[in-house]
Amino acid sequence: MGTVHVLDHPLIQHKLTHIRDKNTGTKDFRELVNEIAMLMAFEITRNLPLQETTIETPVQEAKANVLAGKKIGLIPILRAGLGMVDGMVRLIPAAKVGHVGLYRDPETLEPVEYYIKLPSDISERELIVLDPMLATGGSAADAIHSLKKRGAKQIRLVCIVAAPEGVERIKKEHPDVDIYLAALDEGLDDKAYIVPGLGDAGDRLFGTK
């Protein structure tokens, strides 16, 4: 069964409070989402394998560790997931980036897929799906189904704010997927917005509405 990790690092929690604040404008919101993504990347890469190499320090020969070169793919769910890519890439510069375009139909709340473009070797990569919001879980669950249909074997989901309903849906439909969050909120309102949440992440990132 996939596990749920709430990353409660004080820097993440501080920045999260600012993006929840309705008075935070687009520029700051965008910067803070990237910074949170970078801090989350630090936490979720703890398990990356290392391999030993030999180097010469100015003093003597030494054995030291370097990354073993695990292949990673970042998969932002468009649009709002794009806001997390730069922060992640700063810490994982060799990652390839695939895109899944989905929007949530405001009437049915069902996700509608309109675009997909992935690295050709996704079955060999550890994929990290990015979306700031996990509300009903429909978008993330569908994106993960799409990736699995195309051969993905190892997937993790990274969201900034989640509702318990979304977490339960992912656990049910994708029990093999670990979930990483900055916050697990109270629930959903009658329009399936996360409460207390931070509003519409895509609109706040891109200044639309």
φ/ψ of residue 111, rounded to 5: -70, 140
C-alpha dist (Å) from residue 180 to 52, 67, 78, 96: 29, 22, 18, 20
Residues of span 46-75 touching ligand PRP by CB under 6 A: none
Indicate the residue among 42 and 206 with the shorter CB distance to ligand URA: 206
The whole-angstrom separation of Cα 11 and Cα 121 is 35
Least distance to ligand PRP, CB of residue 23, Å:
21
- 197 makes contact with ligand PRP (CB under 6 A): no
Stretch that binds ligand URA, among 43-51, 69-77, 143-151, 196-204 (CB under 6 A): 196-204
C-alpha dist (Å) from residue 128 to 69, 81, 102, 179: 16, 11, 16, 10
Q: Which of 111, 154, 181, 183 binds ligand PRP (CB under 6 A)?
A: 111
190 labelled ligand-binding: no
Q: What single-letter amino acid sits at 183? A: A
Q: Helix, strand, or coil here: 175?
A: coil
143 labelled ligand-binding: no
Q: Which of 38, 128, 135, 152 binds ligand PRP (CB under 6 A)?
A: 135
Structure tokens given for 106: 């405001």
- 185 makes contact with ligand PRP (CB under 6 A): no
Site of interaction with ligand PRP (CB under 6 A)? 77-80, 103-104, 111, 131-140, 166, 192, 200-202
Residues placed in the known binding site for uracil: 194, 199-201
